[in-house]
Structure 1
């Protein structure tokens, strides 16, 4: 399974190349995540400890807690990592672009279908384990707040690149909730169609379903009879 792209609080999408310190921290974080996923595959949820993860990642227990608060937090970071990468792409979009068009374009920019592999694998593992499934749902819900913050920044900029006005909180929460719900719907349909396969073809299908779900949301679900084409973009007078 490929490593998620470098993301998180130490790396800003618009900043210069990351420093050696940032690269080292990202490498350690990735090693912890991969160790946790390896133990999850081998032992199942709830059957390994922080000490097991630290040993597998060749780090100390203390170092583990510099990055994560628990085993659950490591697993949830897979979902967060995918969203962080998508949000980085979202922030690079023109500020005057319709927000859902930006969301769809951000997913398009994740050109390699294997980018969604960690997210897909965790989702698939959760389908047969209620405990892991609850943790995954909690991670998606937590992502809602990050989307709200990104949208608030987009609308609230007063530097000429945004509206510079306060946006209704209900609008922000409904928008973020709708994006998350569409993402979950794409994941559900992918699993029903592909059975959790992590082949390149299956992952390409998942990526396209995620993109198409944003197109449906941006169009106001105006075409229930057919899925949106890959080139369809939300109408500019919406959202």
Structure 2
């Protein structure tokens, strides 16, 4: 006997919540292991065993150990792209990006991302996945700009603008890391927030002091 549509709908939210919980457990376990053993000190099997899932389940969520570790950066950038898409269509592009960073540049969103950013600097594979996350975000933003109602920007303009914003964001992260050594504290995260806000402000005003 097949389930009715109402039954399927009632089960779906719990199923999605379980998927999210499993994904989060894998990510949290991977982060705990990298803190304890360093980026190269454990395997996918170690993550799966500590998270209480099978190796097959791990690969249902992530293609590699490194992908599980850098997911916080990808999530941050995906959330930024989603927030940009929700901005008013007639708002100037740099104003939209500025408001998105203001909304996202808080300790909750920044803490995990900054920790992974520091780790990626010490591991080539993690860095490769991190860079792919930035590129995926850039592609989404370029597409979003071109699809805005009434948009008259060509692809070069959109690509140059997005590239400038994301490169400026990376510059802020790099500056933060040099100043703090990657130490994630409430004070250091407030510094990063200000650096991100400042760097987009420079773009908005044409880098005039």
Give the structure 1 partner of residue 106 of structure 2: 112
Residues 88, 42 of structure 1: CA spacing in aligned structure 2 closer, same or farther, 3 A cutoff? same
Give the structure 2 partner of residue 19 of structure 1: 13
Residues 164, 206 of structure 1: CA spacing in aligned structure 2 closer, same or farther, 3 A cutoff? closer
Structure 1 gap segments, 5+ residues each = 1-17, 156-161, 224-239
Conserved in 1, the CA contact under 8 Å of 2:142 and 2:155? no
> What per-residue deviation string (whole Å, max 9, x for no partner) do you get for residues 6-59 of structure 1?
xxxxxxxxxxxx933332222221111111111222222233222111112111
Give the structure 2 partner of residue 217 of structure 1: 203
Give the structure 1 partner of residue 55 of structure 2: 61
Residue correspondence of structure 1 range 33-112 to structure 2 within 5 A: 33-110=27-104, 112=106
Aligned-CA RMSD value: 2.1
- Distance in 1, matches of 2:184 and 2:151, equals 43
Give the structure 2 partner of residue 121 of structure 1: 115
Identify the structure with the greater helix proportion: 2
Give the structure 2 partner of residue 203 of structure 1: 189
1:88 to partner: Cα distance = 2.4
Moved more, 86-95 or 99-108: 86-95
> What per-residue deviation string (whole Å, max 9, x for no partner) do you get for residues 148-202 of structure 1?
233233x2xxxxxx2155x412112212211110011000111122221211011
Conserved in 1, the CA contact under 8 Å of 2:81 and 2:137? no
Higher gyration radius (CA): 2
Residues 89, 50 of structure 1: CA spacing in aligned structure 2 closer, same or farther, 3 A cutoff? same
- Distance in 2, matches of 1:54 and 1:95, equals 44
Give the structure 2 partner of residue 28 of structure 1: 22
Residues 84, 77 of structure 1: CA spacing in aligned structure 2 closer, same or farther, 3 A cutoff? same
Residues 20, 136 of structure 1: CA spacing in aligned structure 2 closer, same or farther, 3 A cutoff? same
- Distance in 2, matches of 1:71 and 1:85, equals 22
SS in 1 for 2:99: helix
- Distance in 2, matches of 1:66 and 1:122, equals 22
Structure 2 gap segments, 5+ residues each = 1-11
TM-score, normalising length: structure 2: 0.84
Aligned pair count?
Answer: 198
- Distance in 2, matches of 1:36 and 1:110, equals 24
Give the structure 1 partner of residue 150 of structure 2: 163
